[in-house]
Structure 1
């Protein structure tokens, strides 16, 4: 390997790693902003949030990797052009294509790595992320006692306090116990108390002091009794326990989400698609059989008699071929048959639509495994010649240019995928349309960079238009 190749690889690796982690950090912040309401106030342990962020980061690689390749390639060749290093390389007899070869090898390695990641690692990350996010969103709010407000977070209990100190001490406590009281609550009032948890964290213990407990005896007869018994007991200190099992985050088995298409590799997607196609064929055959039975022509003499009869011809007016006394019954029977067909079709349409949508989605996800890898090559051949043309390094113009091209790529892919999901486009064509549209642009930019074209030189365009104006004036 030549020294010039090592120079180019080192010049590419540093901005690539920097931009990759910056983009990953930005996407992770977007994730936190989106799910912040489901994470705050639920008493999660710090490692649970870190685990969720870890799986979310793995899911964001599909967007961060192509953008990092585009941005770093523009920055690398822009810096080389700004420092006249590309001029020195070309003066040494090395063309731009030869200078791009070592980086192309690196991009090929990244492409293979991204394909293996999307096929083996990304489905597992999506599986873990989906199951953990489901548990997070379905976890109840943490038990927080606010002064002056009845809290009903604990099942069968309603708790209110007048004041709460910073050290956790409570004042003016009132507890309504609805557990096993046949609709008549048991009331506990205490002047002060302290809130603690048991060592295993399964129970909340309220250490109450100087209080009164009121309990009314339930009337089994169901009628009002003016002499109903009321129990009142005073206490100096008591410690009621409250079960906190409803506040624990139960971890769902990830295998429960394992049949979701984004959580499958190529083999799993193919297997699921074949299964869905078989289900759709079975459904179509069943619907066709049900409808055909309503239009079957019965002929009792066919096959059982040698009597030859000419077939009866029915003209445009079907009712004219039916005797007058049977027309009303025939119309009613036909109406019932049509109503039954419409009902069967209406009941089967949602299931048919779901099956078709799932089949399309499996095809989209199958192609996504390849487009993620190919997008790295495509954006490299856009970014590298573009950087050589604009000849600007750093985080200014290259960042704006890279984001602009990436937005074009992302918008085309998103719109085409949505059209494919709706059935307007072929799923294979939809997932590759961005590559098809931008490939000529990559070839054009590579050609312009090879011939040292002043594509973004303002003075060049000024001179060009001045020449046109002079020709018109003559």
Structure 2
């Protein structure tokens, strides 16, 4: 736990350092952060402790004494098996109740710490929103540097009206935050920039011209009232919930809601596209997941539809089936180009809509997959403790080494294998490349056959690698050949 806490400190060093925070706030942050480390710490702890314990037993010939007394390895492990099963149940309770609360407390505390000083709330490369600071605004900077990040490069500010409308834009090449410990006002001094303001006109005719005012400045000072920020309550909670902040009951409910909502979105979008195309006369029979249509075929479908409309206007109805070329030949020459251009424009518009909608749907399904992944991870964490015990205990009995030497190395290698398989599987599951349930269980399922294999070998008093019987088979094969050659 101590090792992972130090890793966490380095991850969040930007949130904690240079903010003037007391030791109580930093201690509270680490206390809230510790439960979220359990999914990494506990499996490694069970694996390492079981290898050390049973390795020490085997090294000191305790197992030999047990077997001489008629006590098998399974019987010697019986009490620990009961304990590990109980530990798995406690782990599930912890993952379902404590970790979600911990994630929410950590998130809220980080947000509240970030609001202590405006420089801390400004993120490089993105617009940072300042609400409740006397004057609402969005600030974006390319770079922060200097003492406490007080100097800013390439500043863009969108100032808000009372209706939260951005009608003023300020751009400056550089900026500086000047503050005093005794004052609730921070000065943002901008240098070498331009000021743009949209003018609100009462006349409809003038509004169509979109009038605005522009001015250039060498130095421009903005006063930011931070009285509310300085009185920030670090324990303030926000109703922000992610998949990691939910228990099993909430996850199951939200997964069902997200699934229905996503299907409704897809169905509505599919109907909209089919209506706009006007090319599929029986869309209910079309499987959008199997149909892969090229742009050329798509254009032909639209052309066919447009030609049908024009033919109906110029020709009487006919029951014969005609190709696109035949239908185009019945139109006037200038109508050929019109029809094809209409089809191309329709296809281009539809493809643009599909591409834009694709990104939105991918984010929706990624959010949906992350909920399923979090649900199964709670169960997988509990079972991983049990399975890793059956990996570590027989492995320690086989290698017959105690202490923090070889057992530590083996435990870390096995844990890293288990951990990285879980990380890669989780990322694949979020992207939809594999089922989220498999992504949560994959690392545990890979360790399961290893645990069964090691338990069987430890029970039969065999070594870690059993190539002896293979060598015996090869020797026997050559002996038979020698006998045959002698005859």
TM-score (norm 2): 0.65
* Counterpart residue number, 2:73: 96
* Counterpart residue number, 2:237: 254
Contact map agreement 1:42 1:142 (CA 8 A) in 2: no
TM-score (norm 1): 0.67
* Counterpart residue number, 1:371: 380
* Counterpart residue number, 1:37: 14
Counterpart of 2:411 (choices 402, 407, 430) is: 402
Contact map agreement 2:15 2:110 (CA 8 A) in 1: no
Unaligned stretches of 5+ residues in structure 2 = 121-145, 152-178, 186-224, 282-304, 310-315, 483-487
Counterpart of 2:398 (choices 382, 389, 392) is: 389
Counterpart of 1:279 (choices 252, 255, 261) is: 261
Superposition pairs for residues 419-458 of structure 1, below 5 Å?
Answer: 419-455=428-464
* Counterpart residue number, 1:77: 54
Q: How many angstroms does 1:132 deviate by?
A: 1.1
CA distance in structure 1 between the aligned counterparts of 2:319 and 2:252, rounded to whole angstroms: 51
Contact map agreement 1:141 1:247 (CA 8 A) in 2: no
Contact map agreement 2:243 2:370 (CA 8 A) in 1: yes
CA distance in structure 2 between the aligned counterparts of 1:277 and 1:400, rounded to whole angstroms: 44
RMSD: 3.5
Count of aligned pairs: 356
Change (3 A) 1:66 1:285: same
What SS does the aligned partner of 2:351 have? Answer: helix
CA distance in structure 1 between the aligned counterparts of 2:88 and 2:330, rounded to whole angstroms: 72
Unaligned stretches of 5+ residues in structure 1 = 1-23, 144-148, 155-194, 205-241, 302-307
Counterpart of 1:295 (choices 277, 281, 306) is: 277
CA distance in structure 2 between the aligned counterparts of 1:455 and 1:82, rounded to whole angstroms: 15
Contact map agreement 1:413 1:431 (CA 8 A) in 2: yes
Q: How many angstroms does 1:136 deviate by?
A: 2.5
Change (3 A) 1:420 1:455: same
Q: Does residue 321 of structure 2 align to residue 313 of structure 1?
A: yes
What SS does the aligned partner of 1:411 have? Answer: helix
Q: Name which one, 1 or 2, has greater alpha-carbon Rg.
A: 1
Contact map agreement 2:66 2:72 (CA 8 A) in 1: yes
* Counterpart residue number, 2:98: 121
What SS does the aligned partner of 1:254 have? Answer: coil
CA distance in structure 1 between the aligned counterparts of 2:331 and 2:234, rounded to whole angstroms: 68
Q: How many angstroms does 1:469 deviate by?
A: 8.6
CA distance in structure 2 between the aligned counterparts of 1:404 and 1:314, rounded to whole angstroms: 69
Cα shift readout 1:348-396 (whole Å, capped 9, x = no counterpart): 1221111111111111111101110010011000000011111111211
Contact map agreement 1:70 1:379 (CA 8 A) in 2: yes
* Counterpart residue number, 1:342: 351
* Counterpart residue number, 1:354: 363
Cα shift readout 1:428-454 (whole Å, capped 9, x = no counterpart): 222222222221111111011111113
Cα shift readout 1:236-267 (whole Å, capped 9, x = no counterpart): xxxxxx97655554548533322x11100111
